[in-house]
Amino acid sequence: MNVRLYVWQRATAALMLPLVLVHIAVIFYATQRGFSAAEILSRTRGSIAWACFYGLFVAAAAIHAAIGVRNVLSEWSPLKDRSAGLFAILFGLALLGFGARAVTAVVLG
């Protein structure tokens, strides 16, 4: 961990805090109201706001988690910093890919 990774990890954590709260509130709202999948998708499809919200969430989570995984690997595995960093980049890109696919499915459909 160095200061650049530290700043990125703290900044993405700060960004995700309100996003997680809204995400949980949305889950409670949808389940309390008993929305079906079709009803949820009818609200999210074509919505630029939800696309931005979850797009930002996915990007922040991918960066934040990748830095965390890099730290775990460099401290707990035989991998050197460089190899751990490379693995973490791949891990972050995978998260970004899976997340973007999910957001696309929910927003574009």
Partner 1 sequence: MLAELSVALWRGTREGRYETYRVPQRESQTVLDIVTFVQRHIDPTLSYRFACRVGVCGSCAMTVNGRPRWTCRTHVAKVAGSGRLQIGPLQNLPVIKDLATDMQPFFEKWQQAQGVFAPSKTRHDTIEQIRPDSAARRAADAAIECINCGVCHAACDTVRWNPDYVGPAPLNRAWTLVNDVRDAGNRARLQAVSGTGGCHSCHSHQSCQELCPQTLNPTASIAALKRRTAAAYLKGEITV
Q: How far is the CB of 34 from partner 1 (least distance, A)?
A: 43
**CA 74/CA 30 separation, integer angstroms:** 40
Binding site for partner 1 (CB under 8 A): 1-7, 10, 74-76, 81
**CA 55/CA 6 separation, integer angstroms:** 22
Q: How far is the CB of 75 from partner 1 (least distance, A)?
A: 5
- Judged on CB neighbours under 10 Å (0-12, 13-18, 19+), 101 is exposed
Contact 88, 66 (CB under 8 A): yes
Q: How far is the CB of 88 from partner 1 (least distance, A)?
A: 14
In terms of CB distance, is 55 or 68 closer to partner 1? 68
